[in-house]
Amino acid sequence: MPLYRLLTVLFLLLGSAVSAATRPNIILIVSDDVGYGDIGCYGATHVRTPNLDRLAREGTRFTDAHATASVCTPTRFALLTGKYAWRVPGTGIAPGDSTLLIPQGTPTIASELKSAGYSTGLIGKWHLGLGTTTPDFNSDLKPGPVELGFDYAFFIPATGDRVPCVFVQNHRVVDLEPTDPITVSYKGRIGNEPIGSEHQDWLKIKGDRSHSDAIVNGISRIGFMTGGHRAQWVDETIADTLARQAVTFIERQKEDQPFFLLLTPHDIHEPMVPNPRFRGTSDCGWRGDVIHQLDWTVGEVLGTLDRLGIAKNTLVIFSSDNGGAIKSTYDDGTNPLHGRQSSNGILRGQKGSLYEGGHRVPFLARWPGHIPAGRESPALLALVDLLPTFADLAGRTISTGASPDGVNLKSTLLLDAKAKQRPALVLQSNRTTYLAIRDGDWKLVETAAGPQLYNLAADLVEAHDLAKSEPARVKSLAAKLAAERARTQ
Ligand code: CA
């Protein structure tokens, strides 16, 4: 072989080795309802989270990261699509029989990474609907995650407190017996199985009025469901099932193909039902115990990466889909202990709110050799930004029209000194009448009584509304928000 050809071959080999080494596996763990103050490395003192603290020690802890929305479905919509959910009507908290909220064909974080050559998986909570008509849980459930770019999906269709209380693997309910079909209704009672509002004595934990319909595993839920008994989950083992799925997914991956795993644990959403091995292990009742359970899940993932020797080439991110809440939706007997620790630290507001406690969330990122270890970053970022950021890490130029609102924050994630501040970020709650906009240190919060203005650098707890003393700034932020609302692409 002539020397120049040999050099060309060597160069190509070297080139592909370099690109393989710098295209990381990506594991994104988006927990549920975990607040800014809920874990050790963000200041919690009544729970112990050694695995999450390890991520902080071996990676970077971001202190100004946002879930984009302060409730589940719109945050997940924005994460998947890179598009603010408030732009699309009907993307508020979805019922368990919702149709798919993301139209098939929309570029998603999964389809973009799949197009870049990644093997893609979703394990955990979905809560973005299924199918184009009201889903029949006895037949193929599609389109869903698979049609949106996930090669493999094992998921809870909606939430732990909503029917149907079953797992779906790709298109099918797991362990469903054809002789015992599932029927789901959010309109009214169906069948003659007992319901929570009539059989309080049947319940292992009591639900409030809205959580008093179908009884599954001794716990009443939102919505009615009959049949599918063999397929019904046992709350105490949901974390075990999802962790086992995540470990198996990682083990199955081929050495020469990078993978993307979106792991969305049920914890710490209600009902908070820890496995008996976690009960009583925290100082905050079952709410703290499920934080321990979540930390254990993270430990299972990190341990698998260590065991397989792939931790070095895997970006692991941990975050949450909205701020924390202390609610007593279910009475597990430990509710008085839940509030021992402020779920959102010093922040004002909680899940569902436009104040920081609603949407500022933990965000830990570890990628050995690429993201500095043991550091803290005050950079502004949001889950809506992860689609373009991950696409860049995967060496892909995103599809035309993809991610209209997400910003590529690769340099921010890698703590590049030249990283630019993210432009204005729009935040939402479940309702979209009022939004908030964040620009640098300043935040405008729309309310029924008019806009409020906060300087987060001086007033992180949003105690001093400066709207009256800073009218020019209110005007300029309101104009930016109006421009965002008017923007169609
Ligand atoms: Ca949530």
pLDDT in tens, the chain (489 residues): 555 555 444 444 444 444 545 799 999 999 999 999 999 999 999 999 999 999 999 999 999 999 999 999 999 999 999 999 999 999 999 999 999 999 999 999 999 999 999 999 999 999 999 999 999 999 999 999 999 999 999 999 999 999 999 999 999 999 999 999 999 999 999 999 999 999 999 999 999 999 999 999 999 999 999 999 999 999 999 999 999 999 999 999 999 999 999 999 999 999 999 999 999 999 999 999 999 999 999 999 999 999 999 999 999 999 999 999 988 899 999 999 999 999 999 999 999 999 999 999 999 999 999 999 999 999 999 999 999 999 999 999 999 999 999 999 999 999 999 999 999 999 999 999 999 999 999 999 999 999 999 999 999 999 999 999 999 999 999 999 999 999 986
C-beta atoms surrounding 300 within 10 Å: 17
Q: Quick one: 462 and 407 in the same domain?
A: no
6 within some domain: no
- Cβ burial 102-119 (10 Å sphere, 16+ → b, else e): beeebbbbbbbbbbbebb
Residue 29 pairs in a beta bridge with 263, 318
Report the separation in Å between the CA atom of 159 and the middle of ligand 1, taken as the mean of its atom positions: 9
217 within some domain: no
Q: Which two tokens stand for residue 28?
A: 């994104």
Of 392, 394, 400, 444, which Cα lies nearest the Cα of 419? 392
Q: Which two tokens stand for residue 162?
A: 């909503």
Report the separation in Å between the CA atom of 19 and the middle of ligand 1, taken as the mean of its atom positions: 36
CA distance 251 to 308: 8
Cβ–Cβ < 8 Å for 429, 353? yes
Dihedral (CA of 47, 52, 57, 62) sign: negative
Q: Quick one: 323 and 439 in the same domain?
A: no
467 within some domain: yes
* pTM greater than the 0.85 cutoff: yes
Report the separation in Å between the CA atom of 182 and the middle of ligand 1, taken as the mean of its atom positions: 26
pLDDT, residue 314, reads 98
CATH code of the domain in which 466 resides: 3.30.1120.10
Q: Quick one: 267 and 322 in the same domain?
A: yes
What single-letter DSSP state applies at residue 222? B
CATH code of the domain in which 101 resides: 3.40.720.10
Q: How far is CA 415 from CA 59, 60, 375, 381, 418, in A?
A: 11, 9, 9, 12, 8
pLDDT, residue 92, reads 95
C-beta atoms surrounding 147 within 10 Å: 18
Cβ–Cβ < 8 Å for 297, 243? yes
CA distance 122 to 364: 19
Report the separation in Å between the CA atom of 449 and the middle of ligand 1, taken as the mean of its atom positions: 27
Distant-in-sequence, close-in-space partners of 185: CB < 8 Å, separation ≥ 6 = 97, 223, 224, 225
Q: Quick one: 51 and 135 in the same domain?
A: yes
Catalytically active residues are 72, 127
Report the separation in Å between the CA atom of 72 and the middle of ligand 1, taken as the mean of its atom positions: 4
Q: Quick one: 243 and 120 in the same domain?
A: yes
Report the separation in Å between the CA atom of 9 and the middle of ligand 1, taken as the mean of its atom positions: 50
Report the separation in Å between the CA atom of 305 and the middle of ligand 1, taken as the mean of its atom positions: 27
CA distance 113 to 94: 26
214 within some domain: no
Q: How many separate domains does the chain show? A: 2
pLDDT, residue 21, reads 52
pLDDT, residue 18, reads 43
Look at the chain and count its residues: 489
Q: Quick one: 470 and 321 in the same domain?
A: no
Q: How far is CA 477 from CA 30, 428, 467, 473, in A?
A: 30, 15, 11, 6
- Estimate the crossing angle of helix 50-58 against helix 285-308, to 10 degrees: 50
Q: Quick one: 442 and 358 in the same domain?
A: no
Q: Quick one: 63 and 34 in the same domain?
A: yes
Burial of 240 (0-12, 13-18, 19+ CB in 10 A): middle
Report the separation in Å between the CA atom of 20 and the middle of ligand 1, taken as the mean of its atom positions: 35
Question: What range does the domain containing 239 cover?
Answer: 23-174+234-413
Q: Quick one: 407 and 437 in the same domain?
A: no
Q: Quick one: 269 and 144 in the same domain?
A: yes
Look-up of token digits 């081929």: 254
Report the separation in Å between the CA atom of 300 and the middle of ligand 1, taken as the mean of its atom positions: 22
348 within some domain: yes
pLDDT, residue 12, reads 46
Of 452, 232, 221, 273, which Cα lies nearest the Cα of 355? 452
Q: Quick one: 109 and 252 in the same domain?
A: yes
210 within some domain: no
Q: Quick one: 459 and 314 in the same domain?
A: no
